[in-house]
């Protein structure tokens, strides 16, 4: 296994960069992807999901309440 010191060699850098796609590198993946610009139908879906989440929390809360009693 190569250690971090050896990773700094140009030959290793070249080999790794030629083996991986640029956005596969761990460092590149630290960059966040831009936020999506949501339009009408997508906003509606997300609001529907919020309502669903409330339903879901009610169901799970009810289950926990039943268990506690």
Give contact residues for another protein (rule: CB under 8 A): 2, 4, 7-8, 12-13, 15-17, 19-36, 38, 42, 45-46, 49, 52-53, 56, 59-60, 62-64, 67
Q: Shortest distance, CB of residue 40 to another protein, whole angstroms? A: 14
Contacts of 13 (CB under 8 A, 6+ apart): 7
Query: Nearest Cα to 3, choosing from 35, 21, 12?
Result: 12
Q: Shortest distance, CB of residue 24 to another protein, whole angstroms? A: 5
CA distance 40 to 4: 49
Q: Shortest distance, CB of residue 31 to another protein, whole angstroms? A: 5
Residue 37 tokens read as 């610009």
């Amino acid at each position: 296994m190569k250690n971090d010191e050896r990773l700094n060699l140009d030959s290793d850098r070249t080999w790794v960069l030629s083996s991986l796609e640029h956005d596969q590198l761990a460092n590149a993946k630290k960059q966040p992807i831009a936020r999506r610009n949501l339009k009408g139908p997508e906003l509606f879906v997300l609001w529907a999901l919020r309502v669903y989440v409330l339903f879901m929390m009610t169901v799970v809360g009810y289950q926990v309440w039943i268990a506690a009693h």
